[in-house]
Structure 1
Amino acid sequence: MTNNHTIEIEGHRHVSFHLDRLEPAEMAAKSDAFYQWLDTRRSVREFTNEPVAKSVIENIIKSASTAPSGAHKQPWTFCAISDPVLKKQIRIAAEAEEKESYESRMSDRWKDDLKPMATNMYKPFLEEAPWLIIVCKRAFELDTDGKKHNNYYVNESVGIACGMLITAIHNAGLVTLTHTPSPMNFLTNILKRPKNERAYLLLPVGYPKQPVYVPDLDRKGLDEMAVFYEGE
């Protein structure tokens, strides 16, 4: 993208945008190659403690931050944790919530649906993975005087950023797992986040143990998940 020209629209500066167009054959090949590569992504629950450079995590987060957001408010905070003391606190609190969920909150049908995932209330990956990224949604903004300012389409915006975050993790040659203990307010409490932030998603990030096994699952085919409305 090159920004060679600027104009004013309703008093705000806009810059020119350039996109290198691809020939149809190259476009088809690149889009198929990207799908084939992304289809190798899997959720992994077993991590080594091998270090991952902070600069890599920074690049992953910056990639996620390119996501579109309502009115460009960018209503997210990415909390990246490598401190083993904090990770242990998070694991203890998360497993307490998971125990409650497995024993009293989750229906038998829900637990049956989880059986192919081979998951349970114990979450050692919260300590094993070299990094945890806690994505917080910013429900509103607070200025220096404590006055609230609206954010828009917060859940949608943060959800898009999380998808891009997971893709960036895969692109870096690392693995992750989406973890959503419920409720998640213990995360914002442990991390001492401000009152305008709510924990949205937890992602352990690192290298998989070797060997590591994942469920033998099939993804839905295109005809099961897409509907095309084409003119004649």
Structure 2
Amino acid sequence: MATGTYPTRPAPRLRRDDAEAVEVARAFHDTMSQRRSVRDFADTPVPAEVLREAVATAATAPSGANLEPWRFVVVRDPELKRRVREGAEEEEREFYHRRASEEWLDALAPLNTDEHKPFLEEAPALIVVFEVHKSETEPRPYYVKESVGIAVGLLLAGLHQAGLATLTHTPSPMKFLGPILGRPANERPYVVIPVGYPGENATVPDISRKSVEEVMVEL
């Protein structure tokens, strides 16, 4: 049984007054409100250091018992991306033609998506995020999905801030990813994130978001 506690240090303070805090929050919202899921990528390379810094930002996320149960696998190798696409499209064919309910397919229909996922090869990089579970070398983690979800949110924000386009892709099931990417059995796929710059003629659905009044409750 673990004993003792972490040493402590003063909590960080950004020391912003109310007006500055509102300005910073509004500027961040304005930037993030432009983030959209992109499915058409240019072949322009993405700087490795940008990906590294974005992953470093994701890894600042809070996690259950500070055990950081995540792994970010950056894939640029064309052959590996091809194999990821093949595995994803196999699962997606099953989803669209056999597993998905009519209600689910109706919800997806306005987005005009199907089992074809060329972006998994076309994007210059994929970031495949894994949950890290207990093994001989890893302790038992707590609140894994919550922790990894927060980290992914920070990753998407960091990539967007750097001017990159992203998409969250979750073929189900995703067990095929571990063997392709050489990951151990205790690492379970969470999401695949293609990363790059939008293609020259890339478009996104013209949708709107719910207002803050619809999603926020003040008591």
- TM-score, normalised to structure 2, is 0.95
Shift in Å, 1:18: 3.1
1:25 is aligned to 19
Shift in Å, 1:182: 0.3
The unaligned stretches of length 5 or more in structure 2 are: none
1:7 is aligned to none
Q: Tell me, yes or no, if the aligned pair for 1:75 and 1:157 is still in contact at 8 Å.
A: yes
The unaligned stretches of length 5 or more in structure 1 are: 1-9
User: What is the aligned counterpart of 2:93 among 68, 91, 99?
Assistant: 99
* Count of aligned positions: 217
Shift in Å, 1:211: 2.3
- Residues of 2 paired with 1:207 and 1:68: CA distance? 29
1:202 is aligned to 192
Root-mean-square deviation over aligned CA pairs: 1.4
Are the structure 2 counterparts of residues 25 and 119 from structure 1 closer, same or farther at C-alpha, using a change threshold of 3 Å? same
Higher-strand-fraction structure: 1
- Residues of 2 paired with 1:113 and 1:11: CA distance? 49
| Superposition pairs of residues 14-53 of structure 1, within 5 angstroms | 14-53=8-47
- Residues of 1 paired with 2:94 and 2:6: CA distance? 51
- Residues of 2 paired with 1:141 and 1:65: CA distance? 20
Shift in Å, 1:12: 3.0
- Residues of 1 paired with 2:177 and 2:19: CA distance? 47
Larger Rg: 1
1:157 is aligned to 147
**Code of the aligned partner of 1:182:** S
Give the secondary structure class of the aligned counterpart of 2:7: strand
Are the structure 2 counterparts of residues 215 and 11 from structure 1 closer, same or farther at C-alpha, using a change threshold of 3 Å? closer
Percent identical residues: 46
2:54 is aligned to 60
Shift in Å, 1:24: 1.0
| Aligned structure 1 segments of 4 or more residues deviating by more than 2 angstroms | none
**Code of the aligned partner of 1:34:** F
